[in-house]
Amino acid sequence: AQTRQEWAAEVRRLAAERDAVILAHNYQRPEIQDVAHFTGDSLALSRLAAEVEASTIVFCGVHFMAETAKILSPEKTILLPEPKAGCSLADTVTADDVRAWRGEHPDAVVVAYVNTTAAVKAETDVCCTSSNAADVIRSIPEDREILFLPDQFLGAHVKRVTGRDNIRIWMGECHVHAGIDGHTLRARAEAEPDAELYVHPECGCATSALYLATSGAVPEERVKVLSTGGMLSAAEQTTANKVLVATETGMLHQLRAANHTTVFEPVNARAECHYMKMITADKLLWALRNGTTEIHVPKEIAARARQSVERMVAIGS
Ligand code: 13P
Ligand code: SF4
């Protein structure tokens, strides 16, 4: 049997042979994160997909991320090692839903989280990720109504931090993050009064996190609502003994690698995204050997979705 090192060497050799760059999301399995050329959050990976010179991108993540890479780099070959790697949040809204919602509010600006299909992005005005959602909202004139989709917790979070009251929010959720609830966060924070809290805004507990901070239950500076990339930057700088992390557990691998003196523990150890974990060592090898599975986005949909994604990439860059 092949050792982990032999496997990694083979993956890198095959990638070089294909002129491929391997991108991995922070929720991927540790061995996939370690072998990738770049690891990051949704925004960083979108930017990289647009910038890298390689002719092929092997996307170790979920389907909408590979589609976003294809939208930004139509001339590149985009491979997703497991095409069934979907997203429960992206599944909560269809292009027909967006058209109907816009029909009810024709003057509104439609903001879509990147966790949506290409067909949904094509129906929206601007995209956002968890790291730039508030900046995207602030870039829209105050008197324009906003339709925000599909994540209700991220929507409630940006509404709160921007103070905008003319935002309507789609009631979608990610089953992994919704499962990290306020009750669990509160209990963990009370049991560990010195620990910092890193909370992803998609979490069911995101509103509770802000409440804990503003009510004084936990000192405000210890509570951080962050994207996965934001968590990594915070981890590199923290001097806390312990950080309780509310997001998909794959994130812990990067956090622990970035800082060996702080202890990082999950708020909910069962918060695992089975879609993200579908990209296994064997599947990555298979994808590189066989050039599978290539992701295509119909040209007309890609052209409309691109405007929305490019508007996002331009904000705050
Ligand atoms: P970020 O990496 O942008 O924080 O996204 C989290 C997520 O759920 C992606 O599936
Ligand atoms: Fe989708 Fe949630 Fe998995 Fe992210 S963690 S890919 S939002 S199901």
pLDDT tens column, 246-303: 999 999 999 999 999 999 999 999 999 999 999 999 999 999 999 999 999 999 999 9
Q: What are the beta bridge partners of residue 77?
A: 56
254 lines ligand 1 (CB under 6 A): no
Q: Residue 202: CB within 6 Å of ligand 1?
A: yes
Q: Is the CB of 89 under 6 A from ligand 2?
A: yes
**Ligand 2 in contact with 85 (CB < 6 A)?**
no
Q: pLDDT per residue over 88-107, tens digit each?
A: 999 999 999 999 999 999 99
Establish whether residue 124 lines the binding site of ligand 1, counting it when its CB lies within 6 angstroms of any ligand atom. no
pTM: 0.96
CB atoms within 10 A of CB 84: 10
Q: Is 277 left (phi over 0), alpha (psi -120 to 50) or beta?
A: alpha
For residue 120, pLDDT over 80 is answered with yes
Segments of the chain assigned to CATH 3.40.50.10800? 4-86+276-296, 90-173+305-314, 176-266
Q: Residue 42 C-alpha to ligand 1 middle, in angstroms? A: 6
- The closest residue, in CA terms, to atom 6 on ligand 2 is 87
- CATH number of the domain located at residue range(s) 90-173+305-314 in this protein: 3.40.50.10800
Identify the CATH number of the domain defined by range 4-86+276-296. 3.40.50.10800
Q: What is the average per-residue pLDDT within 154-170?
A: 96
| pLDDT mean over 224-236 | 95
Quick check: ipTM above 0.85?
Answer: yes
How distant, in Å, are the alpha carbons of 8, 106, 148 from that of 112?
36, 16, 6
Residues 6+ apart with CB under 8 A from 137: 111, 128, 146, 148, 158, 162, 164, 167
- Rounded-to-integer distance, Cα 66 and Cα 45, Å: 10
Ligand 1 pocket, 115 CB below 6 A?
yes
C-alpha closest to that of 47 among 26, 73, 28? 73
> Ligand 2 mean position to 277 CA, how many Å?
11
Look up residue 146 and give its two tokens.
């906003």
Architecture of domain 176-266: 3-Layer(aba) Sandwich (3.40)
Over 70: is that where the pLDDT of 317 sits? no
Residue 239, pLDDT > 60, answer: yes
- Structural contact between residues 58 and 15, judged by C-beta atoms closer than 8 angstroms: yes
pLDDT tier at 218 (50, 70, 90 boundaries)? confident
Both structure tokens of 36 = 């990738």
Of 26, 41, 203, the one to substitute when testing ligand 1's pocket (max ligand atoms within 8 A of C-beta) is 41
Cβ atoms of 151 and 188 closer than 8 Å: no
Atom 2 (ligand 2): residue with closest C-alpha? 174
